[in-house]
Structure 1
Amino acid sequence: MSTKYKFHDQDKLYLVSFSVVFWIDLFIRNEYKRVLPDSWKHCQKHKDLEIYRSCIMTSHVQMIIGSGGHKLEDSMRDMKRHK
């Protein structure tokens, strides 16, 4: 299975989900949980990422996202590497 996200129509909304390796309960600690919204804000500001809903669970995240004109693949890549 491909590890890259593929968005065929940049004008649509997408449900995306990503998990922690081995489904470890990483997001039970606030210091780890806070990294995600910071990353999302960065992508919203610099990549025009549109977030309609998000849910942070203990070992994975689900989001409904859209694009403000940028490629969603780039937003997803940058969201995961933002520090």
Structure 2
Amino acid sequence: MKEVYVIRDQTLPHFITATVVDWVDVFSRQLYRDCVIECLYFCIKNKGMALYGYFIMSNHVHLIVQSDRSELSNLIRDFKKLLQKIF
């Protein structure tokens, strides 16, 4: 069953984990890790992301993130959509 995390206060920084479907080791390749970093830079520059820290594992990404412009849930949705377009 899929668990849903609800962001109750959209203005505070949150620790977010984004996983790859079926936990496939996609990010073991430098090319794909670079794509994640490019998406983060895009969101920082264009979406108002305040990124306090990140860690890219072989099959998931950890973020400490906050939104300066809109709701954090919308920002995370947009970040994931950018990643989906690349992969």
- Using the size of structure 1 for normalisation, the TM-score is 0.87
CA contact (8 A) 2:49 2:75 kept: yes
CA contact (8 A) 1:10 1:69 kept: no
Would you identify which runs of 4 or more consecutive aligned residues in structure 1 move more than 2 Å?
A: none
Q: How many residues align?
A: 82
The equivalent residue for 1:77 is 77
CA contact (8 A) 1:49 1:75 kept: yes
Following superposition, the deviation at residue 37 of structure 1 comes to 0.9
Identity of paired residues, percent? 29
- In structure 2, what residue type is equivalent to 1:20? V
Which ranges in structure 2 are unaligned for 5 or more consecutive residues? none
The equivalent residue for 1:51 is 51
- In structure 1, what residue type is equivalent to 2:37? P
Give distance in 1, aligned partners of 2:57 and 2:73: 22
* Residues 1-12 of structure 1: pairs in structure 2 closer than 5 A: 1=2, 6-12=6-12
Following superposition, the deviation at residue 2 of structure 1 comes to 5.2
Following superposition, the deviation at residue 64 of structure 1 comes to 0.6
